């Protein structure tokens, strides 16, 4: 008997052979670019903890939106950073709030060329930094927050969002938002649910980007999921699907690939994963030190997120990768 019995290396011999048998391919169509728009600045401002990313002005956001469209990136997800914050995060639903102003401009100039996804949350807009409103005892009031999310959804839809993406992990948020959109004349606006969102230390650079500090050194563990739990994520996904989510997300991506894979098997609607700020910044930091080849590591990680089952990926590498893919 010949040894080895099975020669796996035959199909790895040449680049063309490897391309032929590749099971997973990363394409520009898989990418969603997260972007930040900051109220009250005259010039785009670099985000120190996220090399290559900026807080945009409305004008520079438009330029970036056009660039993404010309690279073939199909979608962006927008985060607004207001000039002033208050207890109820009123800027989030203000028709003249920064996200709404930006969405109107983007939709006006890009039409349907890019899918405009509006992150739907209050934390960027609240002075205490939580994703919902607080009771007198400082805890997050779930149902009072849902009422505000309804208003945010309507403001974002009215401003031109194709998709709203609730990221606050309040119970019942998808049903409340779906109901508000349908009742408000926006039955065609889709809901992308941050369904399995874990309380993660990897969100730290993002909080610089949106200038959020959680009051009193607090955290989000009373609403975001415990990374210890996998089955709980499936319950969250089932609930969001039952409440009317059109697409579901798992976040962060790389530390939860098991969850991505299980969710992919479980539902038939699109599943995406969010490669979050900390995942991005770790690659950038190590690349800057010459310790790793950043673009190669990014491509490898994004491929593995796709292999795990994500239909598309929210990633700060979107533009960079689209350029590399020759978009």
Question: Catalytic amino acids?
Answer: 197, 251
Among the candidate windows 25-33, 115-123, 146-154, 300-308, which touches ligand PBG by CB under 6 A? 115-123
Q: How far is the CB of 205 from ligand PBG (least distance, A)?
A: 7
Verify binding: residue 123, ligand PBG, rule CB under 6 A. yes
How far does Cα 300 stand from its chain's mean position? Answer: 19
Q: How far is the CB of 38 from ligand PBG (least distance, A)?
A: 15
Are the beta carbons of 161 and 92 closer than 8 angstroms?
no
Verify binding: residue 243, ligand PBG, rule CB under 6 A. no
Are the beta carbons of 79 and 61 closer than 8 angstroms?
no
Q: State whether residue 16 is helix, strand or coil.
A: helix
Among the candidate windows 10-18, 109-117, 119-127, 133-141, which touches ligand PBG by CB under 6 A? 119-127
Residue with the closest Cβ to ligand PBG?
206
Among the candidate windows 52-60, 117-125, 152-160, 259-267, which touches ligand PBG by CB under 6 A? 117-125
The radius of gyration of the chain's CA atoms, rounded to the nearest angstrom, is: 20
Q: How far is the CB of 121 from ligand PBG (least distance, A)?
A: 3
- Position among 149, 206, 223, 317 found at the interface with ligand PBG (CB under 6 A): 206
Residues 6+ apart with CB under 8 A from 243: 172, 174, 175, 178, 193
Beta strands in the chain (DSSP E): 31-38, 45-46, 54-56, 75-81, 115-120, 163-166, 190-197, 247-251, 271-275, 312-315
Verify binding: residue 125, ligand PBG, rule CB under 6 A. no
Verify binding: residue 272, ligand PBG, rule CB under 6 A. no
- Position among 78, 234, 276, 283 found at the interface with ligand PBG (CB under 6 A): 276
Residues 6+ apart with CB under 8 A from 257: 304, 305, 308
Burial class (CB in 10 A: 0-12, 13-18, 19+), 24: exposed
Give the interface with ligand PBG as residue ranges (CB under 6 A): 119, 121, 123, 131, 167, 203, 206, 220, 276-277
């Amino acid at each position: 008997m010949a040894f080895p019995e099975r020669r796996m290396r035959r199909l790895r011999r040449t680049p063309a052979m490897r391309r032929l048998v590749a099971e997973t391919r990363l394409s520009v169509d898989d990418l969603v670019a997260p972007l930040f728009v900051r109220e009250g600045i005259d010039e785009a401002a670099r985000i120190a903890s996220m090399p290559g990313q900026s807080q945009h002005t409305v004008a520079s956001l438009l330029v970036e939106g056009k660039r993404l469209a010309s690279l073939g990136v199909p979608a962006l997800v927008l985060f607004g950073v207001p000039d002033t914050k208050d207890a109820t995060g009123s800027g989030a639903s203000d028709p003249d709030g920064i996200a709404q102003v930006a969405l109107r401009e983007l939709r006006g100039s890009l039409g349907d060329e890019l899918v405009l996804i509006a992150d739907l949350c209050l934390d960027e807009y609240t002075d205490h930094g939580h994703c919902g409103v607080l009771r007198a005892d400082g805890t997050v009031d779930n149902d009072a927050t849902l009422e505000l999310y309804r208003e945010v959804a309507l403001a974002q839809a009215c401003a031109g969002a194709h998709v709203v993406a609730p990221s606050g992990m309040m119970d019942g948020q998808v049903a409340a938002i779906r109901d508000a959109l349908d009742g408000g004349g926006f039955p065609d606006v889709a809901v992308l649910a941050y369904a399995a969102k874990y309380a993660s230390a990897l969100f730290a650079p993002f909080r610089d980007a949106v200038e959020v500090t959680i009051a009193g050194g607090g955290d989000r563990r009373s609403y975001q999921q415990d990374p210890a739990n996998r089955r709980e994520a499936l319950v969250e996904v089932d609930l969001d699907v039952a409440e009317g989510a059109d697409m579901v997300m798992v976040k962060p991506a790389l530390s939860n690939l098991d969850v991505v894979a299980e969710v992919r098997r479980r539902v038939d609607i699109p599943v995406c994963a969010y490669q979050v700020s900390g995942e991005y910044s770790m690659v950038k930091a190590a690349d800057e030190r010459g310790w790793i080849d950043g673009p190669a590591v990014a491509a490898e990680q994004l491929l593995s997120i796709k292999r795990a089952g994500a239909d598309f990926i929210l990633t700060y590498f979107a533009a960079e990768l689209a350029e590399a893919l020759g978009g």
